Amino acid sequence: MRNLTKRYGEVEAVRGIDLEVARGETFGFLGPNGAGKSTTINILCTLVEPTGGTAAVAGLDVVRDRAAVRRRIGLVFQEPTLDGPMSGEQNLRFHGELYGVDRRTAAARREEVLRTVGLWERRADPVTTYSGGMRRRLEIARGLLHSPQVLFLDEPTIGLDPQTRASIWNYLARLHETQPITVFVTTHYMDEAENCDRIAIMNEGRIVALDTPEALKAQVGADRVVVTTDDDEAAIAAIRRGFGVEAAVHEGAVTVSVPDGAGFVPRLFAALTAEGVVVRSVAVTRPSLDDVFLAHTGSTLRDAEARGPSMHPMAMRMRGR
Ligand SMILES: Nc1ncnc2c1ncn2[C@@H]1O[C@H](COP(=O)(O)OP(=O)(O)OP(=O)(O)O)[C@@H](O)[C@H]1O
């Protein structure tokens, strides 16, 4: 994307995005409701034309080479778009015919994607008998059927229980082992964003943060080390002398902020023991992606999740077709 913009009348939904996602990358797209994520994905999927700037997917311009882009992408929406009375395999067969999947290889390809998402044994059962997680996995299988180079997932696990969400990410990880597919995913779940190679946080039409989850968390600042001792005053003095940092008692425990908590703990132990201070417990908390999100957008991911999904033009538009 190069200086990508999209304006809806007075609303500047996307305000000049520059972004490059590498082949084979799992890229997470986060942001509060109304940040412009869906608009951006809609442009990449050729469902919406940009007002300005350019975007290319798999090397092809999303405006000039629209049909070619469509053949190279797979889409998984929040809104279910499966045919319930048909079996899992029939759904895939139907989709394969729509997408012109080669008939000679179609059956083998169906088996491959159904095995990837763990639904091969249930392929003949009507989709109405599938659980929510199984349906979502079938949608992912369907998105993969025509061997896309880029898979777009718009909140693929919303409304699913934590175990099922984890299993879907397992399938996505397994997918990466077998094919060099690029995955572009929006999510409101912090733990899911952790699975991404890199994430971008969007706010008010702009990308406000872009890096690996680890690097983003490191930018937020220090780890917090919380230690309970038999003599907090002596501990605080020892930390000041030994490390030149100020510790303080919060909620009954000595608390200190340091850049590398895990590396600090053994040295802290040694210093306190040398001073005759007995350490009862030590805990290290690292900055979470929620802290990152909060720092950049002024709200937490959980706030964003609690507000729920707003209108999703991509799913609405596709259903309307
Ligand atoms: N078809 C449209 N017509 C007019 N305004 C729109 C349209 N689609 C999106 N917008 C506006 O553009 C802005 C960005 O919306 P968008 O749906 O891209 O955000 P989002 O980050 O995907 O949010 P959500 O997480 O709620 O889906 C919002 O102010 C929205 O109201």
CB 50 within 8 A of CB 4: yes
Dist. CA 67 → ligand 1 center (Å): 24
Higher pLDDT, 252 or 182: 182
- pLDDT, the chain, mean: 86
Whether residue 110 is found in the same domain as residue 200: yes
Q: Do 310 and 33 form a contact (C-beta atoms < 8 A)?
A: yes
> Interface pTM (ipTM) of the complex?
0.95
* One domain, residues 47 and 109: yes
Q: Lowest-pLDDT range, 27-36, 205-214, 281-290?
A: 281-290
* Two structure tokens written together for 161: 């229980």
Say if ligand 1 is within 6 A of residue 250 CB. no
Question: Can you give the residue range of the structural domain that contains 235?
Answer: 222-285
Do 123 and 239 lie in a common domain?
A: no
Same domain, 50 and 102: yes
Question: d(Cα 173, Cα 285) in Å, to the nearest integer?
Answer: 27
Determine the pLDDT at residue 313.
41
- How far from chain centre, in Å, is Cα 179? 19
Asked if residue 251 has pLDDT above 90, the reply is no
Per-residue pLDDT tens for 137-166?
899 889 888 889 999 998 888 877 888 888
Cβ(178) to ligand 1 under 6 A?
no
- Amino acid at site 64: R
Q: What's the CA-to-centroid distance between 35 and ligand 1, angstroms?
A: 7
Q: Whose CA is nearest to atom 11 of ligand 1?
A: 13
Report which ligand 1 atom has the smallest distance to the Cα of 38. Answer: 22
CB 199 within 8 A of CB 29: yes
CATH number at residue 239: 3.30.70.270
Cβ(38) to ligand 1 under 6 A?
Answer: yes
Q: How far apart are the first and last CA of the chain?
A: 26
Q: What is the pLDDT of residue 170?
A: 84
Q: What is the pLDDT of residues 270-310, one digit of tens each?
A: 999 999 999 999 999 887 787 788 778 876 665 555 555 44
What's this model's pTM, rounded to 2 decimal places?
A: 0.77
Choosing from 6, 7, 11 the residue with most ligand 1 atoms within 8 A of its CB, the one to mutate for a pocket test is 11
**CATH number of residue 148's parent domain:** 3.40.50.300
